[in-house]
């Protein structure tokens, strides 16, 4: 079943974005241009799918109308044949659109914040954290993604207790979002003299970088009072009603400004302060959501919470969520992740 309202909203969004893109005055910086362009590129195949779906649906309705209103035997026979073909086409168009919509996530075009932390396994887990870091770095290099290191906590043997970095460009988050979870490694540690296979775990968290939180302030949510500015002891320092008090009804925030002699300037400054306060609230909310997502992904760093296992003795990489295995462990750790990411994304996005 297709959600017609969702199709309408996506079509309107696509139209609005193209309007913005054609109006240079609406774009404040190069970052805005890139974000809008990326979202348009993401929506384009969906819009084409919507057009095909709507065209077939309209033709189907027309065929039904002919059958209902025609008394010509030959015409009815042709219309019924056409109706059967159109019903098959509508099923295909609907299935195709479902796939496109399942892959449509506005966050996919964002940069990715990647956090890798050693879990159970001591130094061996820290060494494998370093292996995963290099794996993602090499993948990024081969796909035109830029890496910016945020923080690291190295161990003495070249491993990492923790490393955080940002991958930017070319829909980084969309490519790596299913890497969230615990990655388990089974191998003989370089520090192990007896040759026993150890199992260690590393947690990987991939989050979208959100740097464009928009604060919408509705006029109907504001109560604006104007009054005369006053100095010490209540002395009037202005003979006009230039001071402004703005009350934001949904949050109860009150902002006053009387520094400027102009009521217009005081109102503008008060609105600016109000937006800053609302941004702070939204940012705290976003940080909590990110923290919840991080905790959900990290879990305990325990081996039992695995999403993928890297088995060195068998040169096998297995994703336990989709029950798929690949026998090119060395190549995958060298950054050749295309097949793994594509297969994982296709199956998980359809679930």
Over range 44-61, report the average pLDDT.
Answer: 92
Q: How confident is the model at residue 218 (pLDDT cuts 50, 70, 90)?
A: confident
Of 50, 49, 39, residue with least CA distance to 14: 39
pLDDT above 80 for 134:
yes
Q: How confident is the model at residue 29 (pLDDT cuts 50, 70, 90)?
A: low
Question: Do the bridges between strand 306-311 and strand 181-187 make them parallel or antiparallel, or are there none, so unpaired?
Answer: parallel
Place of tokens 């990715």: 112
* Per-residue burial over 317-328, b = 16 or more CB atoms within 10 Å of its CB, e = otherwise: bbbeebeeebee
**Distance separating alpha carbons of residues 56 and 50, to the nearest angstrom:** 10
Structure tokens at 251: 């949050």
Of 171, 112, 42, residue with least CA distance to 297: 112
**Distance separating alpha carbons of residues 317 and 326, to the nearest angstrom:** 5
pLDDT exceeding 70 applies to what percent of the chain? Answer: 82
Burial class (CB in 10 A: 0-12, 13-18, 19+), 212: exposed
- Residue 337 three-state SS: coil
pLDDT above 60 for 303:
no
**Distance separating alpha carbons of residues 330 and 48, to the nearest angstrom:** 40
**Distance separating alpha carbons of residues 256 and 226, to the nearest angstrom:** 9
Output 233 or 105, whichever has higher pLDDT. 105
pLDDT above 60 for 121:
yes
**Distance separating alpha carbons of residues 128 and 232, to the nearest angstrom:** 66
CB 210 within 8 A of CB 306: no
**Distance separating alpha carbons of residues 53 and 100, to the nearest angstrom:** 12
Region of 157 (left: φ > 0; alpha: ψ -120 to 50; beta: rest) is alpha
Q: How confident is the model at residue 338 (pLDDT cuts 50, 70, 90)?
A: very high
Over range 285-300, report the average pLDDT.
Answer: 64
pLDDT at site 102 = 67
Phi, psi of 227 (to 5 degrees): -155, 170
Q: What is the DSSP letter of 230?
A: B
Domains by residue range for the chain, with CATH: 4-104 (no CATH), 110-212+293-350 (3.30.70.1660), 219-288 (3.30.160.20)
Q: In what order do the strands lie in the sheet with 112-118?
A: 146-154, 160-168, 112-118, 198-208, 181-187, 306-311, 316-319, 324-326
Helices (H), the chain: 4-22, 30-69, 73-102, 122-142, 172-176, 263-298, 329-333, 338-350
Structure tokens at 342: 């594509």
Structure tokens at 279: 């941004």
Across the chain, what does the average pLDDT equal? 83
pLDDT at site 233 = 44
């Amino acid at each position: 079943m297709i959600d017609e309202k969702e199709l309408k909203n996506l079509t309107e969004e696509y139209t609005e974005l193209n309007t913005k893109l054609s109006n240079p005055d609406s774009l404040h910086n190069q970052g805005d241009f890139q974000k809008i362009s990326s979202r348009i590129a993401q929506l384009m195949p969906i819009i084409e799918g919507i057009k095909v779906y709507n065209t077939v649906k309209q033709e189907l309705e027309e065929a039904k109308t002919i059958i209902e209103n025609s008394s010509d035997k030959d015409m009815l026979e042709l219309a019924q044949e056409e109706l059967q073909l159109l019903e098959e086409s509508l099923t295909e168009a609907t299935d195709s659109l479902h796939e496109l919509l399942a892959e449509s996530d506005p966050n996919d075009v964002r940069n990715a914040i990647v956090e890798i932390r050693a879990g159970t396994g001591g130094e061996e887990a820290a060494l494998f954290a370093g292996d995963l870091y290099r794996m993602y770095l090499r993948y990024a290099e081969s796909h035109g993604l830029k890496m910016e290191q945020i923080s690291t906590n190295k161990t003495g043997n070249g491993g990492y207790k923790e490393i955080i970095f940002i991958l930017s460009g070319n829909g980084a988050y969309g490519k790596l979002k299913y890497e969230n979870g615990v990655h388990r490694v089974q191998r003989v540690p370089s520090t192990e003299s007896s040759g026993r296979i150890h199992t260690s775990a590393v947690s990987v968290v991939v989050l979208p970088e959100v740097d464009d939180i928009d604060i919408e302030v509705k006029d109907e949510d504001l109560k604006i009072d104007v009054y005369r500015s006053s100095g010490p002891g209540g002395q009037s320092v202005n003979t006009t009603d230039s001071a402004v008090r703005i009350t934001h009804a949904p949050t109860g925030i009150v902002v006053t400004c009387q520094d400027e002699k102009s009521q217009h300037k005081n109102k503008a400054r008060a609105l600016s302060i109000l937006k800053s306060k609302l941004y702070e609230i939204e940012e705290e909310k976003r940080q909590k959501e990110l923290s919840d997502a991080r905790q959900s992904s990290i879990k305990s760093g325990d081996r039992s919470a695995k999403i993928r296992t890297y088995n060195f003795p068998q040169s096998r990489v297995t994703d336990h969520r989709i029950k798929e295995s690949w026998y090119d462990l060395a190549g995958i750790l060298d950054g050749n992740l295309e097949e793994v990411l594509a297969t994982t994304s296709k199956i998980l996005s359809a679930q």
